[in-house]
Amino acid sequence: MATINDFDKLDIRVGKIMEVIDFPEARKPTYKLTIDFGKEHGIKHASAQICGNYHPEDLLHKNVMGVVNFPPRQIGPFVSEVLVLGVQDDKNATVLMVPDRDVSPGQKLF
Look at residue 32 in the predicted model and tell me its pLDDT: 98
- CA dist 70 and 92 (Å) reads 24
Kindly state the percentage of the chain with pLDDT values over 90.
100
Mean pLDDT over 66-89 rounds to: 97
Q: The pTM is what?
A: 0.95
- CA dist 59 and 27 (Å) reads 21
The class that CATH gives domain 4-96 is mainly beta
Q: What is the mean pLDDT of the chain?
A: 97
Cβ atoms of residues 98 and 62 within 8 Å? yes
Kindly state the percentage of the chain with pLDDT values over 70.
100
Mean pLDDT over 30-41 rounds to: 98
Q: In 3D, which of 26, 101, 39, 27 has the Cα closest to residue 68?
A: 39
Tally of helices (H runs) and strands (E runs) in the chain: 3, 9
pLDDT tens readout for residues 78-93: 999 999 999 999 999 9
Cβ atoms of residues 37 and 13 within 8 Å? yes
Whole-number CA gyration radius for the chain: 14
pLDDT tens readout for residues 4-15: 999 999 999 999
Look at residue 39 in the predicted model and tell me its pLDDT: 97
- Tell me which DSSP letter residue 108 carries: B
Look at residue 102 in the predicted model and tell me its pLDDT: 93
